[in-house]
A and B are shown apart, each in its own frame.
Chain A
Amino acid sequence: MATIRLAINQKSYAVDVDPQTSLLTVLREHLDLTGSKYGCGEGQCGACTVLIDGKAQRSCVTRLGSVGQKQITTIEGLAQGDQLHAVQRAFLDVGALQCGYCTSGMIMSAVALLKKNPSPSEGEIVDFMHGNICRCGTYPRIVSAIQNAAKNGSTTASAKGGSR
Chain B
Amino acid sequence: MNPKSGVEIPIEPERYELRAAAPYRFDLDRREFFKFLGAGLVVVSVLKTAVVAQESGGNRQRRGESLPKDIDAWLHIGENGKITVYTGKVEVGQNIRTSLSQAVSEELHVPVERIEMVMGDTQLTPFDMGTFGSRTTPTMNLQLRKVASAARDVLIGLAAKQWNTNPQELIAIDGKVKEHAGERSIEYAALVKGQQLTQALPAEDPLIPAAEWKVAGRPAAKVDGIDFVTGRHLYPSDQKLPGMLYGKVVRPSAFEATLVSVDTQKAEQMGVTVVRDGNFVGVAALNSQLASSAAAAIHAEWKAEPQPSNKDLFDYLRKNVMDGKDVTGDGDRFDTGSVDEAMKSADHRLQQTYTVQYIAHVPLEPRAAVAKWDGDRLTVWTGTQRPFGVRGQLAEAFHIPEENVRVLMPDMGSGYGGKHTGETAIEAARLARAAKRPVKVVWTREEEFTWAYFRPAGVIDVSSGVQKDGTITAWEFHNYNSGSAGIRPYYEIANQRIVFHAVKTPLRQGSYRALASTANHFARESHMDELAHAVKMDPLEFRLKNLKNERLRAVFEAAAKQFGWGKSKSAGRGYGMGGGYEKLGNIATFAEVHLDGKSGEVRVVRVVSAFECGAIVNPDGLRNQIEGSNVQGLGGALFEAIEFSNGKILNGRLSQYRVPRFSDLPVIETVLLDRKDIPSVGAGECPMIGLAPAIANAIFDAMGTRLRALPLVPNGLKSS
Q: Which A residues have a C-beta under 8 Å from some C-beta of B?
A: 17-18, 21, 25, 28-30, 32-42, 44-45, 47, 74-76, 78-79, 84, 88, 91-93, 95, 97-104, 107, 125-127, 129-143
Contacts and interface: CB of A to CB of B under 8 A. Distances in A.
Overall SS of chain B's interface = loop
B230 interface: yes
Given A101-B413, A135-B363, 20 more contacts: A18-B289, A25-B289, A34-B234, A38-B237, A47-B364, A74-B231, A84-B230, A92-B221, A95-B222, A99-B92, A99-B365, A100-B228, A103-B229, A133-B654, A135-B362, A135-B364, A135-B416, A138-B624, A139-B661, A142-B662
A9 B527 CA distance: 57
B403 interface: no
A40 B231 contact: no
Closest 10 CB pairs of A and B: A35-B231, A99-B93, A137-B631, A101-B413, A75-B231, A100-B228, A137-B628, A98-B93, A44-B654, A34-B238
Contacts of B111: none
A133 B661 contact: yes
B382 to A, nearest CB: 15
B627 A141 contact: yes
Contacts of B442: 38
A88 to B, nearest CB: 4
Contacts of B625: 98
Nearest to A75: B231
A107 B444 CA distance: 23
Nearest to B287: A29
B482 interface: no
B445 to A, nearest CB: 5
B364 A101 contact: yes
A107 B442 CA distance: 24
A40 B653 contact: yes
12 contacts: A42-B655, A44-B653, A76-B231, A92-B225, A95-B219, A95-B624, A101-B363, A129-B662, A130-B662, A133-B659, A137-B660, A138-B628
A91 B630 CA distance: 20
Nearest to B634: A137
B561 interface: no
B311 interface: no
Contacts of A139: 631, 660-662, 665
A33 B232 CA distance: 9
B414 interface: yes
Interface string B613-638: 00000001100110111111000000
B632 A137 contact: yes
A164 to B, nearest CB: 17
Contacts of A29: 246, 287-288
A9 B651 CA distance: 37
Contacts, number: 174
B512 to A, nearest CB: 13
A130 to B, nearest CB: 5
Given A98-B628, A99-B412, A126-B665, A32 B230 contact: no
Contacts of A32: 240
Central interface residue in A42, A98, A137, A140, by most chain B CB within 10 Å: A137
Contact of A79 (B230, B662, B663): B230
B233 interface: yes
B630 A34 contact: no
B668 interface: yes
Contacts of B228: 97, 100, 103
Given A34-B238, A126-B663, A84 B289 contact: no
Contacts of B660: 137, 139
B230 A137 contact: no
Contact of B629 (A36, A101, A102, A137): A137
A36 B225 contact: no
Given A98-B624, A99-B412, A101-B235, A126 B662 contact: yes
Contacts of A79: 230
Nearest to B234: A34
Nearest to B414: A99
A146 to B, nearest CB: 10
Contacts of A38: 237, 366, 442
B94 interface: yes
A40 to B, nearest CB: 4
A111 to B, nearest CB: 12
A21 B363 CA distance: 25
B534 interface: no
B95 interface: yes
B28 interface: no
B231 A34 contact: yes
A84 B229 contact: yes
B207 interface: no
Contacts of A99: 92-93, 363-365, 411-414
Contacts of B222: 92, 95, 97, 100
Interface in B220-255: 221-222, 225-226, 228-235, 237-238, 240, 246
B230 A135 contact: no
A28 B219 CA distance: 34
Nearest to B365: A101
B231 A140 contact: no
A134 B363 CA distance: 9
A23 B231 CA distance: 17
A130 B659 CA distance: 11
Contacts of A107: 229
A101 B414 contact: yes
Contacts of B94: 98
Contact of A92 (B229, B416, B662): B229
Contacts of A141: 624, 627
Central interface residue in B222, B225, B362, by most chain A CB within 10 Å: B225
A126 B237 CA distance: 29
